[in-house]
Structure 1
Amino acid sequence: MKNNIKGKQALAITLLSFSPLAALAQAPVNTADSLKLQGIHDSLDLQGVEVVAQKPVVRMTTDKMTYNVQQDADAKTMTLLDMLRKVPMVTVDGQDNVTVKGSSNFKVYVDGKPNQMFQNNFSQVAKSMPASMVKSIDVITSPGAKYDAEGTSGVLDIKLVHQSGQPNSDCSNCYNGNVELSLSNKGERANAYIGGQHGKLTYSAMGMFAWQDFGNLKVTNTRLQQTSLGESLQTTDVEFKQKHPFSFGNFTLGYALDSLSTINVSAGVNGGYTNQNMQPRNSFSGGPYGNGFSYVYNSNQRNRFMGANASADYQRWLNADHTSSLTLSYLFDYNPARNRTWTIYNNVSGVTGLTLTDLFSDSRTWGTSHTGQADLTLDLGKGQTLETGTKFISRHNKSDSRLYDIVDGNDVLNDAGSMLYRNLQSIVAGYAQYKLTKEKYNARLGLRYEHTFESVKYAEHSDRNFHKDYGNLVPSGSIGYNITPMSNLGLTYTMRISRPGISQLNPYTDRTDPTALTYGNPSLAVVKSHNVTLAYNFFMPKVMFNVSLSHDYIGNEIENYQFVDADNKYNSTYANNGKSRNTYVDAFIRWAACKNSTLMLSGNVSYGDWKAKELDYHNWGWSGNAYVGLEQQLPWKIKSSFGLFAQTRQYNLMGYNSGMQFFNASLTRTFLKDRLELSARYANPLRSHLIINQHSAGADFSNHTHVSIPLQVLALSVKWNFGNTKKQFGQYSSKINNDFNDSQKKDSPTSKMGM
């Protein structure tokens, strides 16, 4: 449609193609005209023709969902954890526990590569990291054979804003960056980023430091136990303050050796600690405790963790079309941690049925891994692609846990309560995957084999040492159909496995609570899960809609279960004693209602059934959550965002957690040609605390926990953008990403693939 405006012609074209440049070649346009394309690609500059393209916030495929954080207005004010509440298929409960499709058994990746420090401390890291440092979040629920088989509910891949790789030909010495400072009633945060290109070299560096004060948490735990001595009641009241400093740094380099070869290197370090001083009050009555008594003790906890990683990736294209390639990659990961707890009893007169002694627990863990992989992708022609590769992982986990009795102010080692434990693991893997794209159909069929050699050693108890090796054949497949150019339907099947972690395997018994024992189980086996998903996607310039129906089955799930032993102590450990069936309906809708208003709805409804036959446990129930958001352009160029998150009761094998509601509002304004950004955020203005109730029950006990969490957040942030270009560096990336990036189409300049 052409309109005559002040003597000039303006041509507006709306395309739904994935290749807007191909459409340009077929459309005669005067170079003085303005051509606006509403597509899904980045902004391009083509010799006087202005091409403005907008990325959608969410991009759905048959087996993956990508949430484009940088396209969300809340990215300027939220943390990564806050942003995850908006991401489809991801849930963050009132105590900041993250689940994917209702399960906490997922793998955390950073820039397409496993990051063990993020994995071990994901909630704490996500609460500290600003969303503005994250480019996108990938939720991969149905990975193919190229992907590591670990993580029964899939993979959560956090893509940072940097991206090294092939340089842009029109930028010989360009750079951009930003510096940001945020202040709130929950702490302070400072972060900075710079990225650029000099000739064939691309680079990026980022760093942040956050001091988070989450306020005073109040917890009341009530446990009713039934033993041969009668019914007893235990109540614990505690109030403590959570403070959590966290720092993070990352550096990447990319160099184009020639038009067909690229090498990338990266290094990162991060870490933090938590310090807690508490004075729990314990009350006991009934059963072995007679008429009852109570006491107060001091608990001082010091927990520190850190992580360091480095990687090198080489990619070689085997043809001029960049559709066949060979990649080689290496990844190193190191993650030490130390947890120390002092338990001091001040006055224990009148206590019966319990042995209370002053204790000091010092537990150190180390995790080191080396990963090497080679991948080969061959374009067979006529829409056919063959992908194959091999991988080797060496992991060394060590735990040195020491328990000390404090006698007359001196630490005396308790040999019976101490343990030096090592877990050595070697994994050899190979895969082959065939892809076919034909007219409206596409299909993928793959097979992966992983063989694990595992050795467990105890320094003081060599008689407990054992070795085992086992293989897992992991099939996967999918088929898709393009109903129209704007809609498609896909069906996937995926098998996934989950190897038990060191905290689940470690048999060391934590005795710091005189009424409870916590320990792992070194005999745990690999968990196998099966998933079938049917997904429908619909795209229009103003409306995006996705709905998926999926079913998961696990026959030997690792469950954390509790019981009361003969000494009346509450035991918590793990076993492969669970069977679970979960059915989910996930939906996402985004509607550009008008020029200045956009509405979003993301939510799910699920039904779960959990069984542990040996323990005679069985639980089931319906759950759901939803996020409703509005992005509104206000006068004076102010961008606003309002959102409400609500969650119903969430069930598990032994009980449930109560639901919650969370409201958020933010305002953003830019100045000085977008170089200066000012943002404000207010969360939960009408409620000062969030109340969470947790309930669990077994054959001989019931346990109820009441948690009160400070909820209100008021934050202000200022950000300064600098540089001589606004270009996104590395848009033609060859970085090896552990197979969690899309393989690009034939007309793409390069493709992303790797470990």
Structure 2
Amino acid sequence: MKKLFPLLLLLILSFNYTYSQRPGGDREKSTIVITGQVLDQETNEPLEYATLVLQSVENPEKITGGITDMDGNYSVETNPGKYNVSIEYISFKTYKKPNQLLSENTNLGVIKLSLDVAQLDAVEVVGEKTTVEVRLDKKIYNIGKDLTTSGANISDALNNIPSVTVDVDGAIALRGNDNVRILINGRPSALAGFGSTDALRQLPADAIEKVEVITSPSARYDAEGTAGILNIVLKKEKTLGFNGTINTTVGYPTASSITSNLNLRTNKFNIFNTIGYFYRGTPGNGYFDNNYFDTNPDNFNRIIEDRDIERRDIGYNVNLGMEYFITDKSSITGSVFGRFSDEQDITENNTTRFIETIINSRTLRREVEKQDDKSYQLSLNYINNINEDGQKLTTDFQYSFDKEIQPTTIAENSTFPNSDLIAKENIYETQLQKEFLIQADYVLPLGEAQFEAGYRGNFEENSNDFRLEQLNLQTGEFEANLGLTNVFTYNQNVNALYTQYGNKYGKFSYLLGLRLENTQLKGNVDASVDLTELQEILGTEIDLNFDKNYLGLFPTLNLIYELSDKENFSLGYNRRINRPRGYFINPFPSRSSRTNIFQGNPDLDPAFANAYDIGYLKRWDELTLTSSVYLQKETSSFERIQEDTGLTTIDGINIIRTLPINLSTNQRIGAEIGLLYSPEKWLRLNGSFNFFQFQTEGLFNGIDYGATNTSWFSRFSSKVTLPGKIDWQTNGFYRGPSQNSQTESKGIFSLDLAFSKDVFKDNGTISFNVSDLLNSRKRRSFTDTMDGLNDDSYFTSDSEFQWRQRQFTLAFIYRINEKKKNERRGNNYGGDDEEF
């Protein structure tokens, strides 16, 4: 009944208002306008779809009113008279002002509502579900009780968000495009890693409050990321008192963890703390079948590599912070984050070599890579809500530091026809990453409009110290390889200014912005290193020590037209940049394989993209439809190519390298649709489908790498409440086949199951889930380097890779002073709110 009340009230108000507009009705010719704004007393955030009720004192059956917009503002036309004024919002105390004489246009000012604690236990709260709010420049997915992420990590949780995919290597893509910017709490962060998303696999999914999918970012956000932005907002409890959760998991293959999210909040401060410990053993595997079409009959024409991977990750992370409320309008927040891990990956690579169809030799390569990783981050944030009109100033400072020490030993032995030691290497690698961020934002309301301006400075330095020692088989001594031993330092400095202006006219809203960014990219190789061989491989025209500077303007435009409260159209345009990361720039080749290497390209330039997005949303009683069509054209886009280096190993095997290059253009066009259906309280279904085509054009070393590819991905989820109040959730995902200029990737299907039951009077929940039930989450691809120039010295590669095998997990979560139904607030977001 509590849920139905706001809807019934709105229907009554709509009926009265409609009736009062009819010709010949009782409406007087002279009318007045009542305006004002409704805010949350705790957070000063606007409350959208709060209800203003005007009840006539003389005729109590006569009720008029309206609802607030996305900024909490309302504007209601009525007849002069005496009214009982009230403002209502579910889970909040009703504001009442009886016997008010309203004889002229009146602004009731800013009214702040506070939570009604007595209602909370009686409300079926949306916090138990996952909802999405549609905004001018983004969709906000409020993470609820997703059973399949219980005991999982943030990377797993992202894979359940529509439009987002996470592949078997952990690479994150938005609408099929992997150039997506990952932010934590609106800022680049050590929590998300620097140039890598591996860190997201070490953080628990239950630390997430919401995920913002920003496919058409406004000028407020970095221009980095041609696909868009994913902003992960972590939990920070707003309820007074001491509360929190303890989450423990055990699993097979080995996966155990314990995480606590604890908060202590008073009227003057809020202390929040997340501590987690994990121990995981993650087996994986890979398979490569390379065929070489060489005219020399003495060369190997086929090489098969069969890899088994055993991972052991032990670590913990801690995030401790405090928000101090200086006044009722201003606060300062400080937090310290640390992540510490001890990892070990053991890869055994069994290689079989053929001449024609006859096995020539077999070798076993054993690589033991250890990693001691320490990450720290210090953040300071100041917020000043200058006045009740919404004028606001925020400033941020953040320092991040990450140090990874990676000692690696590699031994390769012949197993057929002889048993001999072929090669032995010791690698000592240290990566240092530092980042400073300074940011200031100012918001100035101008009536119903809003002006915003700000500055952001982002300064990164990445240093890679690499030393390679190889065993001299004649002397039995290790010798330094001076051609590969190196220190490479990469700096990326970005200074940005932005301004934006938004307004609303009736059913039409817009947000117009402009961002100016200056980017400096600097690379430096230690001059003491012998670079002759490296320079020959890359080409003499490539400068290993570079200093590049780019100045760019990035306009943004976002529009929404509301056909009704439950239906709207949206239009977005933005210009984006894709800056090469250190991994793509570092010119020294990797050592994961003697025959298949990855080499960065210091000649890479940033890529630029123009993106357009048209969206449509429609909501019925039990069904919600979201859809969009998008177009993106990127210039100087990055593409990974594979080519024969012309070099061979000491036993005569051709060395193939993967190299990132700038291609001329990459055009992507696509469409996505999502359906959310909840016919019964015990059943929720949702599905989404994303179809896209991209076309690349470009030449490199006289070879045409242009390609056209069509692909798609789809996901389906159902949640059923079984007898005994057991929840059952099923998630299915399929990504269709795709291809670029050289490589064709096959489709991937995965299926996840989960069950949960609340215990201890709903203070605890026990759950069991199976990730990748069919053990089918594998990347399969085929590469063909045929260049069409009548040159038969090309090769093909057929490969399969599985990062993690099927996982079984048992999890238990216990809530401290935070009952299952004590989630904030049961917001009704009208036509802009969905469940999945």
CA 1:237 to 1:47, structure 2 compared with 1: closer, same or farther past 3 Å? closer
Tell me what 1:54 maps to. 126
| Equivalent-residue separation in structure 2 for 1:612 and 1:724 (angstroms) | 57
Tell me what 1:492 maps to. 572
| Equivalent-residue separation in structure 2 for 1:681 and 1:69 (angstroms) | 18
Tell me what 1:201 maps to. 269
Report deviation, 1:194: 0.5
TM-score (norm 1): 0.86
Tell me what 1:292 maps to. 360
| Equivalent-residue separation in structure 2 for 1:595 and 1:729 (angstroms) | 19
* Alignment check: 8 A CA contact 1:85 1:645 kept: no
User: Equivalent of 2:766, from 678, 686, 691?
Assistant: 678
* Alignment check: 8 A CA contact 1:57 1:69 kept: yes
Amino acid at match of 2:562: N
Tell me what 1:402 maps to. 467
Tell me what 1:750 maps to. none
**Alpha-carbon displacement from aligned partner over 1:649-674 (angstroms, at most 9, x marks no partner):** 13334212222222222222212332
CA 1:258 to 1:417, structure 2 compared with 1: closer, same or farther past 3 Å? same
Tell me what 1:738 maps to. none
Tell me what 1:213 maps to. 281
Tell me what 2:609 maps to. 529
Report deviation, 1:52: 5.7
CA 1:47 to 1:725, structure 2 compared with 1: closer, same or farther past 3 Å? closer
* Alignment check: 8 A CA contact 2:361 2:415 kept: no
Report deviation, 1:37: 5.2
Tell me what 1:616 maps to. 704
Equivalences for residues 326-405 of structure 1 within 5 A: 326-347=393-414, 356-381=422-447, 383-405=448-470
Q: Does 1:80 align with 2:174?
A: no
Report deviation, 1:120: 4.2
* Alignment check: 8 A CA contact 1:70 1:134 kept: no
TM-score (norm 2): 0.78
Amino acid at match of 1:556: S
SS of 1:70 mapped into structure 2: coil
CA 1:510 to 1:389, structure 2 compared with 1: closer, same or farther past 3 Å? same
Amino acid at match of 2:806: Q
Tell me what 2:341 maps to. 272
CA 1:542 to 1:349, structure 2 compared with 1: closer, same or farther past 3 Å? closer
| Equivalent-residue separation in structure 1 for 2:374 and 2:746 (angstroms) | 33
Tell me what 2:656 maps to. 570
* Alignment check: 8 A CA contact 2:495 2:517 kept: yes
**Alpha-carbon displacement from aligned partner over 1:126-156 (angstroms, at most 9, x marks no partner):** 4444322211111111111111111111111
Report deviation, 1:51: 6.3
Tell me what 1:417 maps to. 484
Equivalences for residues 18-97 of structure 1 within 5 A: 19-23=48-52, 44-45=115-116, 54=126, 57-76=131-150, 78-97=152-171
User: Equivalent of 2:815, from 721, 725, 730?
Assistant: 721
Tell me what 1:254 maps to. 323
Task: Please identify, of 364-373 and 696-705, the stretch whose mean Cα deviation from structure 2 is larger.
Answer: 696-705
CA 1:364 to 1:119, structure 2 compared with 1: closer, same or farther past 3 Å? same
Report deviation, 1:574: 1.6
| Equivalent-residue separation in structure 1 for 2:307 and 2:317 (angstroms) | 32
CA 1:119 to 1:544, structure 2 compared with 1: closer, same or farther past 3 Å? farther
Task: Please identify, of 421-430 and 88-97, the stretch whose mean Cα deviation from structure 2 is larger.
Answer: 88-97
Q: Does 1:98 align with 2:98?
A: no
Report deviation, 1:330: 0.6
SS of 1:347 mapped into structure 2: strand
Q: Does 1:306 align with 2:378?
A: no
| Equivalent-residue separation in structure 1 for 2:202 and 2:352 (angstroms) | 36
SS of 1:82 mapped into structure 2: helix
Report deviation, 1:272: 2.9
Report deviation, 1:491: 0.7
* Alignment check: 8 A CA contact 1:664 1:683 kept: yes
Report deviation, 1:75: 4.4
Tell me what 1:633 maps to. 721
* Alignment check: 8 A CA contact 2:645 2:657 kept: yes
**Alpha-carbon displacement from aligned partner over 1:485-508 (angstroms, at most 9, x marks no partner):** 111111111111111111111111
Equivalences for residues 543-582 of structure 1 within 5 A: 543-567=623-647, 568-577=654-663, 579-582=665-668
CA 1:730 to 1:319, structure 2 compared with 1: closer, same or farther past 3 Å? farther
Q: Does 1:693 align with 2:780?
A: yes
Equivalences for residues 461-480 of structure 1 within 5 A: 461=528, 464-480=544-560
Tell me what 2:673 maps to. 587
| Equivalent-residue separation in structure 1 for 2:644 and 2:584 (angstroms) | 19
| Equivalent-residue separation in structure 2 for 1:427 and 1:728 (angstroms) | 43
Report deviation, 1:647: 2.1
**Alpha-carbon displacement from aligned partner over 1:501-543 (angstroms, at most 9, x marks no partner):** 1111111123453323432111211111111000111234533
| Equivalent-residue separation in structure 1 for 2:565 and 2:710 (angstroms) | 36
| Equivalent-residue separation in structure 2 for 1:726 and 1:258 (angstroms) | 31
| Equivalent-residue separation in structure 2 for 1:537 and 1:512 (angstroms) | 48
Amino acid at match of 1:529: A
Q: Does 1:142 align with 2:216?
A: yes
* Alignment check: 8 A CA contact 1:43 1:54 kept: no
SS of 2:483 mapped into structure 1: helix
CA 1:426 to 1:637, structure 2 compared with 1: closer, same or farther past 3 Å? same
Q: Which has the larger radius of gyration?
A: 2
SS of 2:144 mapped into structure 1: helix
Task: Please identify, of 303-312 and 227-236, the stretch whose mean Cα deviation from structure 2 is larger.
Answer: 227-236
SS of 2:602 mapped into structure 1: coil
CA 1:481 to 1:641, structure 2 compared with 1: closer, same or farther past 3 Å? same
User: Equivalent of 1:459, from 508, 511, 526?
Assistant: 526
CA 1:724 to 1:682, structure 2 compared with 1: closer, same or farther past 3 Å? closer
Report deviation, 1:549: 0.7
| Equivalent-residue separation in structure 2 for 1:710 and 1:275 (angstroms) | 15
CA 1:290 to 1:683, structure 2 compared with 1: closer, same or farther past 3 Å? closer
Aligned-pair identity in percent equals 20
Task: Please identify, of 605-614 and 453-462, the stretch whose mean Cα deviation from structure 2 is larger.
Answer: 453-462
CA 1:706 to 1:14, structure 2 compared with 1: closer, same or farther past 3 Å? farther
| Equivalent-residue separation in structure 1 for 2:249 and 2:313 (angstroms) | 16
| Equivalent-residue separation in structure 2 for 1:391 and 1:728 (angstroms) | 37
Tell me what 1:734 maps to. none
**Alpha-carbon displacement from aligned partner over 1:30-88 (angstroms, at most 9, x marks no partner):** xxxxx99599x999417879766536622233431222212534444544333323211
* Alignment check: 8 A CA contact 2:147 2:769 kept: no
Tell me what 1:482 maps to. 562
CA 1:147 to 1:552, structure 2 compared with 1: closer, same or farther past 3 Å? same
Q: Does 1:180 align with 2:247?
A: yes
Report deviation, 1:598: 1.0
Unaligned runs of 5+ residues in structure 2 are 15-46, 62-87, 93-111, 530-542, 648-653, 788-793, 830-836
User: Equivalent of 2:309, from 240, 246, 251?
Assistant: 240
CA 1:553 to 1:724, structure 2 compared with 1: closer, same or farther past 3 Å? closer
SS of 2:590 mapped into structure 1: coil
SS of 1:155 mapped into structure 2: strand
Report deviation, 1:339: 2.9
CA 1:368 to 1:146, structure 2 compared with 1: closer, same or farther past 3 Å? same
| Equivalent-residue separation in structure 1 for 2:305 and 2:123 (angstroms) | 63
Report deviation, 1:724: 7.2
Amino acid at match of 2:470: D
Tell me what 1:443 maps to. 510
User: Equivalent of 1:13, from 8, 14, 22?
Assistant: 8
Report deviation, 1:458: 2.2
Tell me what 1:712 maps to. 806
